[in-house]
Structure 1
Amino acid sequence: MVSVTRVLAVAATAAVLGVGVPAAAGASSGHYPVATWSMNEGPGARTMIDSSGNGLHGQIGNEVITDVDVRGATGYRFTRLQPDRPPTHPRHLVTVPDSSALDPGSRDYAVTLRLRTTYQFGNIIQKGQATTSGGNFKFQIPNGIVQCLFRGSNGTIIVQASRRINDGWWHVVRCERTRSGVSLEIDGRTVARRGGWTGSISNAWPLSIGGKTDCDQRDVGCDYYAGDLDWVEIEAR
């Protein structure tokens, strides 16, 4: 077991160097890790490893570039694709097979990720889509402004930042859904919050990173993300 002192030391070192590390397991009060994807796999890797111990590994499409070193971090790169222009690019995505563990259900549920982009379009991470039975959640970045959405049995709540973050620097973005509402943090500061309860969210879809899995670039755009990702962590309570 890694000591708390060691975790804090690593986090402090990373902060000094500008290198991102996933939040320590259970660091958020009462939460436990559902999945932790550090995105540190080597060149040409096709499996995204879940280091939480829960075995929620993902498949990396061969258009996703792994082992990208930029501004002190190593992660994945998603190259820019023209919005809504056929054909589809399913290999632009990272997908994690459906698991009930990845569904928010009725739990408090948080997704945290570290991204870097200079673009202003795309869905970063999601499970399900707008018409999916059972609800869905997603992060997207229209006009360089991060939005977070949870749609459940009791309704939809969406929150968005007040400023753009497509400045080419790394940013840590966290969105949490609780019984009292949905909140959005950027770089440790709460930037948006809306009250209300979305209800349960549970669907049979894979978790997708980098865009939609069910799209045709004609009637349904694939909303492919362009930029870098350093890590993603999901927690629940």
Structure 2
Amino acid sequence: MRMKQLWIVSVTAAGLLAGSGGAAAASADHELAYWTMNESPGARTMRDVSGHGFHGRIGSEVAVGIRSEGRIAYGFERLEPDTPPTRPGHLVIVPDDPRLNPGSRDYSIEMRLRTRDHFGNIVQKGQATVRGGSFKLQIPNGRVQCWFRGSRTSLLVTAPRPINDGRWHTVRCERSSDGVSLAIDGRVVAERAGWTGPIANSWPLAIGGKSECDQVDVGCDYFAGDIDYIAIDVEDPGW
């Protein structure tokens, strides 16, 4: 089950920070997509249990059905950064769907993960220079970063401390008209005020690294670790 209580704590913390000039708390509370990542070993389809049909393709190198502390998760092995060849089987890919774009809505990505490494893109839709903008969560130096790039500007927030301790952590990244905020284990740890502008691209949603890369000119930034679930919430479903 998702940790619904997380956002209650996060809103409280965000409100306190907003009073000192931080980004105000958003209200992305409509479930758009929810991937429990509970499939059995050997499964190659990641099921979206929200009922909206955003099913994904599980790469042949992704470990499925990992059990730990009562959870079932996907595992992503460690690959050397910027070292050919590319490993597309390392990724989970959800095909492009306009409904998965943030647009102008309040938009959040929440997940539970664990890692002992210090690099990699965890989840993203689009890449740094693609038309229409993009968003991603990554973990350079073991510190989670949340980045939204829209038609007006880009906003990046970085956790003050690393979480690559091998323990499970819940991460929530949220974009609203007021700014971008990052919560870890129920507490807002970073935020930045501003408005990115709309974000809408025609790229798939990629989990575990970049979907377009060559490991020479463009690194694939493969994530190493385990992911228990990923959920996307929006302010308004827009349909």
TM-score scaled by structure 1? 0.89
2:74 to 73, 76, 81: 76
Letter in 2 for 1:217: Q
Check if 1:32 corresponds to 2:15.
no
Which residue does the alignment assign to 1:115? Answer: 113
Instruction: For residue 101 of structure 1, give the secondary structure of its aligned residue in structure 2.
Output: helix
Number of corresponding residues:
216
- CA-based RMSD of the aligned residues comes to 1.3
Q: What is the Cα deviation at residue 23 of structure 1?
A: 4.2
Letter in 2 for 1:168: G
Relative to structure 1, the CA distance from residue 101 to residue 71 in structure 2 (aligned partners, 3 Å threshold; closer, same or farther) is same
Moved more, 139-148 or 27-36: 27-36
Which residue does the alignment assign to 2:147? Answer: 149
Distance (whole Å) between structure 1 residues aligned to residue 60 and residue 119 of structure 2:
21
Which residue does the alignment assign to 1:167? Answer: 165
1:88 to 78, 83, 86: 86
Letter in 1 for 2:145: Q
Q: Deviations over 1:67-96 (max 9, x none)?
A: 001233110000000100000000100000
| Alignment of structure 1 residues 1-237 onto 2, 5 Å | 21-24=1-4, 31-237=29-235
Distance (whole Å) between structure 2 residues aligned to residue 31 and residue 173 of structure 1:
16
Relative to structure 1, the CA distance from residue 169 to residue 30 in structure 2 (aligned partners, 3 Å threshold; closer, same or farther) is closer
Structure 1: runs of 5+ lacking an equivalent: 1-20
Letter in 1 for 2:71: A
Relative to structure 1, the CA distance from residue 30 to residue 82 in structure 2 (aligned partners, 3 Å threshold; closer, same or farther) is closer
**Does the 8 Å contact 1:22/1:232 carry over to 2?**
no
TM-score scaled by structure 2? 0.88
Distance (whole Å) between structure 2 residues aligned to residue 42 and residue 60 of structure 1:
12
Letter in 2 for 1:98: D
Structure 2: runs of 5+ lacking an equivalent: 9-26
Instruction: For residue 76 of structure 1, give the secondary structure of its aligned residue in structure 2.
Output: strand
**Does the 8 Å contact 2:28/2:108 carry over to 1?**
no
Letter in 1 for 2:154: T
Q: What is the Cα deviation at residue 30 of structure 1?
A: 5.9
Q: What is the Cα deviation at residue 101 of structure 1?
A: 1.1
Q: Deviations over 1:94-150 (max 9, x none)?
A: 000001111000000000000000000100000000011000000000010000000
**Does the 8 Å contact 1:67/1:74 carry over to 2?**
yes
Distance (whole Å) between structure 1 residues aligned to residue 164 and residue 67 of structure 2:
18
Instruction: For residue 89 of structure 2, give the secondary structure of its aligned residue in structure 1.
Output: helix
Distance (whole Å) between structure 1 residues aligned to residue 140 and residue 228 of structure 2:
20
Distance (whole Å) between structure 2 residues aligned to residue 119 and residue 210 of structure 1:
13
**Does the 8 Å contact 2:63/2:76 carry over to 1?**
yes
Q: Deviations over 1:177-211 (max 9, x none)?
A: 00000000000000001000000000000000000
Which residue does the alignment assign to 1:13? Answer: none
Distance (whole Å) between structure 2 residues aligned to residue 190 and residue 224 of structure 1:
26
Moved more, 40-49 or 28-37: 28-37
Distance (whole Å) between structure 1 residues aligned to residue 38 and residue 231 of structure 2:
13
State the 4+ residue runs in structure 1 displaced beyond 3 angstroms. Answer: 27-30
